[in-house]
C-alpha cells in the first residue's frame, strides 16, 4: 500500500489526486497501475477531513 505522509506531510484533501498522479507517473517504487486495475483510495486529514474514492483503470 503506497503512503506519502513520511515525505509529503499531511496534505489532507489533496492527497488523493497527488497519490494518483504519482502512481500514474510511476514515481512510487514498487507500485504500478495497469489497465483493468481497481483502485481504492482512503485518507484522513487534519480537521477530520475524510476522503475516499474508487477508480477502475481503463
Sequence spans of domains, the chain: 5-56
Q: Please check whether residue 22 is in contact with residue 28, taking contact to mean a CB–CB distance below 8 angstroms.
A: yes
pLDDT value of residue 1? 81
pLDDT at 27: 93
User: Cell digits for 25?
Assistant: 507517473
Residue 47 has what pLDDT? 72
Q: Residue 5: is its pLDDT beyond 90? A: no
Q: How far is CA 1 from the centre of its chain?
A: 9
Question: What is the pLDDT, as a whole number, of residue 13?
Answer: 72
For residue range 7-46, what is the model confidence (pLDDT) as tens digits? 888 777 788 888 899 999 999 999 999 999 999 988 877 7
Take residue 26 and report the three cell numbers written for it.
510511476
Amino acid at each position: 500500500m503506497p503512503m506519502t505522509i513520511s515525505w509529503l506531510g499531511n496534505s489532507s484533501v489533496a492527497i488523493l489526486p497527488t497519490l494518483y498522479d504519482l502512481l500514474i507517473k510511476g514515481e512510487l517504487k514498487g507500485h504500478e497501475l495497469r489497465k483493468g486495475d481497481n483502485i481504492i483510495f482512503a485518507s484522513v486529514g487534519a480537521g477530520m477531513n475524510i476522503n475516499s474514492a474508487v477508480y477502475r483503470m481503463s
